[in-house]
Chain A
Amino acid sequence: MATRMKLKLKTVFVLYFMVSLLGLVYALMQLGQRCDCSEHDLPKDRTISRLRGELHRLQEQMKKSDATKQPQKQPAKPTVFVITPTYARLVQKAELTRLSQTFLHVPQLHWIVVEDSPHKTPLVTDLLVKSGLTYTHLYMLTAKDRKLQEGDPSWLKPRGVEQRNEGLRWLREDRRAQPGGDNQQGVVYFADDDNTYSLQIFEEMRSTQRVSVWPVGLVGGMKYERPVVEGGKVVRFHTGWRPSRPFPMDMAGFAVSLKLVLANPEACFDGEAPMGFLESSFLQGLVTMDELEPKADNCSKVLVWHTRTEKPKMKREEALQAQGLGSDRAVEV
């Protein structure tokens, strides 16, 4: 009986030991694994699963709204090609940032940014990549004698001419290579980087057949400039400055259909034109006044404003730099 008991005890022990050992090994293996049991109840863990659920919910919502939108409009909408000349100065990043935030709301928009620079700058490159927009990044340096110098009034020399012409050149070259040739749908708009655009203006210009026009706020020394419409046609222009110009309006006040741009490969901005005649130099070869299409409720609403941003005062910065204590140049502003 003693031996039997001994045997029994021994096997019991062995069994017991093996079971415990297995349990230990199992627990050790659990150490490296992720524990997805909710009983741990750590706040961070909860936050993660909550955020994850949130993310999936938003994803589903996005997919649903995209699915309903896509069959409806996307293929038929003409693309708006926005040509923006830009140049390096303190407020450049801020201006391009808020401009990109507006453009991000506009579907089927292609932003053509042309830098006044001998090469692409990293500031603009990074900004465009992060913006989430469809874009083309170009550059064209203005000749020194045509460039505004420090202290020159802004109206002394025409600005952005070479850059806009470069944008047009690229657009023509790029679109020619597309299927559909000269018969493509699209609208070309020249948007300066310091103006303010409402979202409606882009929808208004999308239906441009030749050249469409609308009022522009805060320009020409007045609250707004606008074409005067009678019987659905533009008969004259309401402006306070040199109304005898062929097209006395601001760059932001018109859009040209892509077809017209492609059909007239020689049409571009003339840098030699007298002050205020820049827009006319481009439009003269393209359209006559009675062919203009008035938008914005027969040119009675202001949907774009010619805002200008103040040059930030850098007195203290300059004083510090003279002492060699200027702010860290590595921080991009």
Chain B
Amino acid sequence: MPKRRDILAIVLIVLPWTLLITVWHQSTIAPLLAIRKACHHLVKEIFIIPERLAVHHHRLSDDGVEGKREAGGQAQDSKEYCASDKDIVEVVRTEYVYTRPPPWSDVLPTIHIITPTYSRPVQKAELTRLANTFLHVPNLHWILVEDSQRRTPLVTRLLRETGLNYTHLNVETPRNYKLRGETRDPRIPRGTMQRNLALRWLRETFNANSSQAGIVYFADDDNTYSLELFEEMRSTRKVSVWPVAFVGGLRYESPKVNAAGKVYGWKTVFDPHRPFAIDMAGFAINLRLILFKPQAYFKLRGVKGGYQESSLLRELVTLNDLEPKAANCTKILVWHTRTEKPVLVNEGKKGFTDPNVEI
């Protein structure tokens, strides 16, 4: 009898403790569930806080419709950002006014924007409105590469006056390779040498082992970018892609995304069988990948029209590794606008206006 009692005693002692230990192990999963809730709270905070800090007010339109922005309406977006397994995307809505770039954050990955540019009448206008866009984006580093023999004073002064964090480079495309007006020499697409120089600069400046997170994006100076685009690309792990409007003779071109969230093809009319049938403005690359593959550059010669992007991406990533952004490639966040060449007939042969005035 004492034996049975002993056994009973031991069981009674051990049972609650085993239960306790197993339950305690289970509780390591609990924070993950709690994190989801916290994520939703955080995203809501980020949307709502700027409203409280907004200095200006909303005017009601004349038919009396309430024009006040509903912070609650933004809450439904928080589900996109808090989906399982996604890295948390911090989206700061710019609902407040400032003229200097936003304060630098130690947490956000830096977006390195590579923009090739060349001198023409609309250059200063294009760079001005591009700078006005970039001044809203936190942790932005603008790498402007001029197609010229020397850095021009126009661009130098413009960059300095914007107050942006920038790097000013230049490399001249050899004359026989330049696209001159209507005579198209199809050998080197415009901007290639400039983009390659910027890639080389990045590789020389940043150490592959450093922990500085960065994203590389190729932004031409005549396109239009929404501010949401930059926050979408910040979470790129390898290469992320999204739709671009007004390319390929369509309203927009976009990657084809399957139900599993993977890219399996390209919704384009112009040669959809290219390895990467995407425009320069339609993808962003993680800096680590650029540094990890130091031989990857845009191909200079022998590249068919429309294959320039593929010449670089082919060496970096496969179709399977692409990360679709912009709500699984269903929203347009970048437009491939082109600016008309201004008609300067009245300048005449000698030039009517004072050439010392910078335009």
Q: Are A222 and B249 in contact (CB under 8 A)?
A: no
Indicate if B182 sits at the interface (CB-CB under 8 A).
no
Q: Are B125 and A307 in contact (CB under 8 A)?
A: yes
Q: Which residue of B lies closest to A225 (CB)?
A: B353
Residues of B bordering A, CB below 8 Å: 9, 12-13, 16-17, 19-20, 23-24, 26-28, 30-32, 34-35, 37-39, 42, 45-46, 49-50, 53-59, 61-62, 67, 69, 87-88, 90, 92-99, 102-103, 105-108, 121-122, 124-126, 128-129, 132-133, 135-136, 224-227, 243, 245-246, 248-252, 267, 269-270, 330-332, 335-340, 342-347, 351-353, 357-359
Instruction: Classify the secondary structure of B's interface with A.
Output: loop
Q: What is the distance, in angstroms, from A111's C-beta to the closest C-beta of chain B? A: 10
Q: Are B246 and A302 in contact (CB under 8 A)?
A: no
Indicate if A136 sits at the interface (CB-CB under 8 A).
yes
Q: What is the distance, in angstroms, from A106's C-beta to the closest C-beta of chain B? A: 7
Indicate if A1 sits at the interface (CB-CB under 8 A).
no
User: Interface digits, A48-71 against B, CB 8 Å rule (1 contact, 0 not)?
Assistant: 101110110011011101100010
> Within 8 Å CB of A47, what residues of B?
87-88
> Within 8 Å CB of A314, what residues of B?
249-251
Indicate if A199 sits at the interface (CB-CB under 8 A).
yes
Given A45-B35, A50-B107, list of 4 further CB < 8 A pairs? A30-B30, A31-B30, A55-B42, A66-B55
Q: Are B105 and A331 in contact (CB under 8 A)?
A: no
Q: What is the distance, in angstroms, from A194's C-beta to the closest C-beta of chain B? A: 9
User: Interface residue tally of chain A, by bracket?
Assistant: 35 or more
Most chain A CB inside 10 Å of its own CB: which residue of B88, B124, B132, B225: B132
User: Interface digits, A9-20 against B, CB 8 Å rule (1 contact, 0 not)?
Assistant: 100010011001
CA distance A98 to B131 in the complex (A): 11
Instruction: State whether A91 and B337 are in contact (beta carbons under 8 Å apart), knowing that A31-B27, A305-B122, A305-B125 are contacts in the complex.
Output: yes
> Within 8 Å CB of B338, what residues of A?
309-310, 312
**23 examples of A-B residue contacts, CB within 8 angstroms:** A9-B9, A32-B30, A33-B30, A42-B31, A55-B90, A58-B102, A65-B98, A91-B335, A94-B224, A97-B224, A101-B129, A132-B95, A135-B58, A135-B59, A196-B129, A217-B121, A221-B343, A305-B359, A315-B249, A316-B250, A332-B332, A333-B245, A333-B335
Q: Are A52 and B42 in contact (CB under 8 A)?
A: yes
Instruction: State whether A55 and B344 are in contact (beta carbons under 8 Å apart), knowing that A91-B337, A136-B59, A218-B125 are contacts in the complex.
Output: no
Q: What is the distance, in angstroms, from A51's C-beta to the closest C-beta of chain B? A: 5
Instruction: State whether A24 and B344 are in contact (beta carbons under 8 Å apart), knowing that A48-B88, A136-B59 are contacts in the complex.
Output: no
Q: Are A58 and B132 in contact (CB under 8 A)?
A: no
Give 7 nearest A-B pairs by CB, closest first.
A240-B346, A20-B16, A316-B249, A221-B346, A94-B335, A305-B125, A132-B95
Q: What is the distance, in angstroms, from A234's C-beta to the closest C-beta of chain B? A: 16
A238 contact from B38, B93, B353, Cβ within 8 A: B353
Q: What is the distance, in angstroms, from B61's C-beta to the closest C-beta of chain A? A: 5
User: Interface digits, A92-114 against B, CB 8 Å rule (1 contact, 0 not)?
Assistant: 01110110011011111010000
Residues of A bordering B, CB below 8 Å: 9, 13, 16-17, 20-21, 23-24, 27-28, 30-35, 40, 42, 44-45, 47-48, 50-52, 54-55, 58-59, 61-63, 65-66, 70, 74, 90-91, 93-95, 97-98, 101-102, 104-108, 110, 129, 132-138, 170, 173-174, 196-199, 215, 217-224, 226, 238, 240-241, 300-302, 305-310, 312-317, 319-320, 326-327, 331-333
> Within 8 Å CB of A66, what residues of B?
53, 55
Q: Are A317 and B251 in contact (CB under 8 A)?
A: yes
CA distance A54 to B336 in the complex (A): 34
CA distance A101 to B98 in the complex (A): 11
> Within 8 Å CB of B249, what residues of A?
313-317
A105 contact from B12, B16, B99, B337, Cβ within 8 A: B99
Q: Are B31 and A199 in contact (CB under 8 A)?
A: no
Instruction: State whether A331 and B88 are in contact (beta carbons under 8 Å apart), knowing that A31-B26, A91-B337, A174-B62 are contacts in the complex.
Output: no
Q: Are A308 and B340 in contact (CB under 8 A)?
A: yes
Instruction: State whether A35 and B31 are in contact (beta carbons under 8 Å apart), knowing that A105-B99, A331-B252 are contacts in the complex.
Output: yes
Instruction: State whether A218 and B88 are in contact (beta carbons under 8 Å apart), knowing that A101-B227, A316-B269 are contacts in the complex.
Output: no
Q: What is the distance, in angstroms, from B57's C-beta to the closest C-beta of chain A? A: 7
B94 contact from A132, A300, A302, A331, Cβ within 8 A: A132
Q: Are B337 and A223 in contact (CB under 8 A)?
A: no
Q: What is the distance, in angstroms, from B318's C-beta to the closest C-beta of chain A? A: 26
Q: Are A106 and B97 in contact (CB under 8 A)?
A: yes
CA distance A62 to B93 in the complex (A): 14
Q: Are A48 and B97 in contact (CB under 8 A)?
A: no
Q: Which residue of B lies closest to A99 (CB)?
A: B129
CA distance A310 to B335 in the complex (A): 12
> Within 8 Å CB of B67, what residues of A?
129, 135, 137
> Within 8 Å CB of B96, what residues of A?
62, 132
> Within 8 Å CB of A23, what residues of B?
16, 20
> Within 8 Å CB of A58, what residues of B?
92, 102-103, 105
Q: Are B98 and A105 in contact (CB under 8 A)?
A: yes
Instruction: State whether A27 and B357 are in contact (beta carbons under 8 Å apart), knowing that A34-B37, A105-B99, A308-B340 are contacts in the complex.
Output: no
Q: Are A13 and B9 in contact (CB under 8 A)?
A: yes
CA distance A50 to B107 in the complex (A): 8
Q: Are B125 and A35 in contact (CB under 8 A)?
A: no
Q: Are A102 and B97 in contact (CB under 8 A)?
A: no
CA distance A59 to B92 in the complex (A): 11
Q: Are A94 and B105 in contact (CB under 8 A)?
A: no
Q: Which residue of A lies closest to B250 (CB)?
A: A317
CA distance A290 to B118 in the complex (A): 40
B337 contact from A62, A102, A310, Cβ within 8 A: A310
Q: Are B53 and A63 in contact (CB under 8 A)?
A: yes
CA distance A294 to B38 in the complex (A): 56
Q: What is the distance, in angstroms, from B238's C-beta to the closest C-beta of chain A? A: 18
CA distance A95 to B225 in the complex (A): 10
B16 contact from A17, A107, A196, A307, Cβ within 8 A: A17
